[in-house]
Structure 1
Amino acid sequence: MRLTFWGAAQQVTGSMAMLTLDDGYQVLIDCGIDMANLSEKDPIYPNSAFPFDATLVNVVLLTHAHLDHSGKLPNLYKEGYEGQILCTSPTADLSRILLEDSARINQRKLKAYNKKKTKGQSIDHYTFIPDNLYTESDVNNTMNEVVPIQFSRRFNVKPGLWVTFLPAGHLLGAAHIYIEVEENNERKTFLFSGDIGRKDYPLLIDPVEVPQADYVICETTYGNREHTKIVDSAKEIQDVIKRTCIDMPGRLIVPAFSIGRTQAVLFEMHKLFEANKLPPIKVFADSPLAMQSNHIYERYSYLLNKEAKEFKEDNDSLFNFENIEYAQKQNDSKAISNYTEACIIISSSGMLEGGRIQHHIQANMENPYATVLMVGYSAEGTLGARLRDNEGFLRMGSEEHRVHCKIEQTDSFSGHGDVNDLQNFISQQDKNKVTQIFLSHGEEESMIAFKERIENLGYKNVVIPTKGHEFIV
């Protein structure tokens, strides 16, 4: 068998790995886009071509819905893939709305591209292949091939190949994937971590204990960092709201991924308002995608943790409260700028790469009474990372802006496990039984630190693959 890493190799995004069995059967684990190489002028899919023949892939296994794991699935079908996608039911529903949203974004960018091309204007900064951008129809064709698999069910893909999806935390429906292969009278097992969640995270159940595997593929997003404690997240959000919206008063802007992070932030705010720990400050939830995601979280609330299920039973809803207002249309979003009282604005995307958050940032960047609270990871090169690391100014498009707003950052809402969570995941493997550990989905510094950490625990054959690196397993 061969294991090839086609993405998230020494970087955080673009997860994509291929397991090729001895009989030639190809299993693609995740099919994500590379967010780290996007610029503010680039489309969301800068590289549509695959480094392999899509027609030869036999089955796709999807760990969870985030675009850096799912975002190129329609491209796969456009290039001739005819197989199925196996994932959990929540992952299927969340992937659909994410991919539909991406298709709409791509078509807007394609329209701008064609308009400039028709007028003879420069198109040098466009790095995508126009024919490879997909439509909502392509997304629909893709999602028709999804086969939902229950958590913890051992599913027989074909003779000699079994797959089990295990709850990983991180996001509704997210899974570790355990693969069992029997070939040539030999049995081998593989454990793909996907994105590892955290214990006691808002809404989500804890990651489950995982079985012993011969080969482990582990993400390392926070392989060299510890998070703020989850128990502090509510206090942290309460404090920043008090400083920004009560003591000043001003406006708090929270860039958050529409799926996962927004729900965690809204849930914590809802709890604070219900407990009368905050006055009824207006909260604008400005993301149609987040509203769709809220409905999916409510629908699958039976998969959430005990606190969330009890809160929903007591309050009828996880995310709807008296002082929240959802911005449905673009005009509703722009009208928020005219609101003169203290308020909270939650909008996507979390890395500021597209979405309505950009005009909120642009409108408030020079406002000393505004605070931008970064609640998630921003890959290097993204607008979010540039705002986080700004030196008093920030370029958006062709304009350069002074940064007078306050920039704060917290990792207490990060859905990714920190170095202790990652170590716990690895420590469930007997160091005398695991054959090899591959580290992926992390920046090089993080990977090196985590490699040294687990080697000090006695684990051997720990490898950091490069893109295209193939291993005989």
Structure 2
Amino acid sequence: MKLTILGAAQQVTGSMHLLQLDNYNIIVDCGLDYEKETYQNENLYFPFDPAAIDLVILTHAHIDHSGNLPTLVRMGFNGQILCTPPTADLTELLLLDSVNIFLSKQNKRSRSKRTKSGPEPLYLQKHVKDTVERFVTINFNKEFQINNQVSLTFIPIGHLLGAAAVILTVHENGTIKKIAFTGDIGRKNYPLLTNPQPLPPVDYLVCESTYGGRLHSTDSTLEQKLIETITESCIKYPGRLIIPAFSIGRTQALAYALNKIFSNGLLPSVKIFIDSPLAGSATEIYSKYHHLLNDEARAFYEKNNHSFEFKELSYVNDKRESLSVSNYHEPCIIISSAGMLEGGRIQDHLYYNIQNYYCTILFIGYCAKGTLGNRLLRGDPIVRLRNRDLMVYATIKQTDLLSGHGDHNDLLNTVRHQSSLTLKQVFLVHGETKSIGALANALQSEGYAVSIPQKGQSFEL
């Protein structure tokens, strides 16, 4: 059995791992690598023949794990894609949204010529349709026999509705080997989601490390932070609060938290706009699978018949409504995608508000290097939007209380469920070099064997 790390090696995006067995090849995740501005070209080719892949296993729907599946299909992959039912539904939404982003980039017109100036789309809607038809869904904690050599179990891992760690049991040369892929590990007590479930004993563990060396804030709760920020941005001063949020996952957690705040009368009424059609569709899926949410969220749903609708909240659907939000002159909260500011309607709201002294931009998640969100967070005084250089006068804030990733201690605890005497190797992926190094040092000090793979590096297991 050979493991090759093909993506998210010493970086966060582009998760993709190849497991080669006797005459059977499995890909775990097939995400977009978008750390470079030329990411569409970077994702066009695979270091293997897609037609030679027998099976794909998808840990969760986020684009850095699912976003290059249609390219794989377009290039000749003809097998099944295994995932949980919510992951199948959410992935379809995200892949169709990716097509829209590709087309918007392609249709950018130069000032001098009325011609398409952007890169060719990686894939189109028909390729997404072909991909979705390959989904085979498997429920959590149900062993699925892939063939007479391999079986699969999905373990709930938090992070996102439907997200799973992958446990593969492999019969090879008269022995049984188990390998786990964590995907992205969630955090405890996250809004809506259940806590990550401990993984069973395995021989090898491919573990994410996004928050290696970093601990989440504990000085306030999410509700306290939101109340404080809204008070400063919209009540004390007649301004507006803009929250870039991924349409799937963060937006639903945020809407649920705001619902509890305003339904309990903890703040005066403030108008809230969720400006993302994708978020509206994703919210319907969250409601569809409300039985998979945590105990508190299920109880809230049963009491109120909905977790994501309340009188202060409006969902913005078409572009005309979105533009009208920019002309709304009362204090308000605008939640829009994308979370890293790469495309989406959030760029319109930034364009009109980045130079507004009475605007606060609150980041609630991770922003990868090279993204507009990362440039704002590092304090760039000027950013480029719509081919214009704009001074940054808005207040930039950040909280990690809605980060869907477990922190350093959560990552350690995930590995600690494995005995250092029986776990043969931990492969750390999906993290920046500093984060991976911090987690590796901590694990090695506890006796675990740790590898930090380079992209394309192979290991015989």
- The TM-score, its normalising length taken from structure 2, stands at 0.97
* Structure 2 letter corresponding to 1:421: D
- 1:34 aligns with 33
In the TM superposition, residue 24 of structure 1 has moved relative to its aligned partner by 2.5
Kindly indicate whether residue 336 of structure 2 is the aligned counterpart of residue 340 of structure 1.
no
The answer to whether the 8 Å contact 1:44/1:102 transfers is no
Alignment of 1:369-408 (within 5 A): 369-408=358-397
The CA deviation at 1:119 is 4.9
- Structure 1 counterpart of 2:211, from 212, 222, 229: 222
Change in CA separation of 1:388 and 1:117 when aligned onto 2, cut-off 3 Å: closer
| 1:180 and 2:169 are equivalent in the alignment | yes
| Structural mapping, 1:91-106, within 5 Å | 91-106=87-102
SS of residue matched to 2:35: helix
Matched, 1:64 2:83: no
Q: Match of 1:326?
A: 315
Structure 2: how far apart are the matches of 1:28 and 1:298? 30
Specify the code of the residue in structure 1 equivalent to 2:82: L
Tell me the distance in 2 between the aligned counterparts of 1:36 and 1:384. Answer: 12
Does structure 2 conserve the Cα–Cα contact (< 8 Å) formed by 1:201 and 1:230? no
Secondary structure in 2 matching 1:294: helix
SS at 1:30 equivalent? strand
Shift in Å, 1:391: 3.5
**Aligned-residue identity in percent:** 46
* Unmatched 5+ stretches in structure 1: none
1:121 shift after superposition: 6.8
1:472 aligns with 2:449: no
1:204 aligns with 2:193: yes
Partner of 1:10: 10
The letter for the 1-side match of 2:452 is I
Equivalent residue for 1:282, pick from 271, 280, 287: 271
Cα distance in 2 between the residues matched to 1:108 and 1:24:
41
Q: Secondary structure at the match of 1:188?
A: strand
The answer to whether the 8 A contact 1:43-1:109 is kept is no
Q: Check conservation: 2:233, 2:360, Cα contact below 8 A.
A: yes
Alpha-carbon distance in structure 2 between the residues aligned to 1:365 and 1:105:
22
132-141 or 402-411, larger mean C-alpha shift: 132-141
Name the aligned partner's letter for residue 285 of structure 1. I
**Aligned ranges 1:347-366 → 2 under 5 Å:** 347-366=336-355
Q: CA shift at 1:230, angstroms? A: 9.6
Across the aligned residues of Structure 1 and Structure 2, the Cα RMSD in angstroms comes to 1.7
Query: Is 2:445 the partner of 1:456?
Result: yes
Question: Residues of 2 paired with 1:437 and 1:471: CA distance?
Answer: 12
- Once residues 408 and 173 of structure 2 are traced to their aligned partners in structure 1, the CA distance between those partners, rounded to angstroms, is 38
Kept in 1, the 8 Å contact 2:30–2:67? The answer is: yes
Of 423, 435, 440 in structure 1, the residue corresponding to residue 412 of structure 2 is: 423
Going from structure 1 to structure 2, the CA distance change for 1:367 and 1:140 (only over 3 Å counts) comes to same
Aligned length: 461
For residues 112-127 of structure 1, the aligned pairs below 5 Å read: 112=108, 119=113
Given that 2:143 and 2:151 are in contact with CA atoms closer than 8 Å, whether structure 1 keeps it comes out as yes
| Separation in 1, partners of 2:166, 2:100 | 30
| Paired letter, 2:277 | P
The Cα shift of 1:288 comes to 0.4
Shift in Å at residue 397 of structure 1?
A: 4.5
Q: Paired residue for 1:20? A: 20
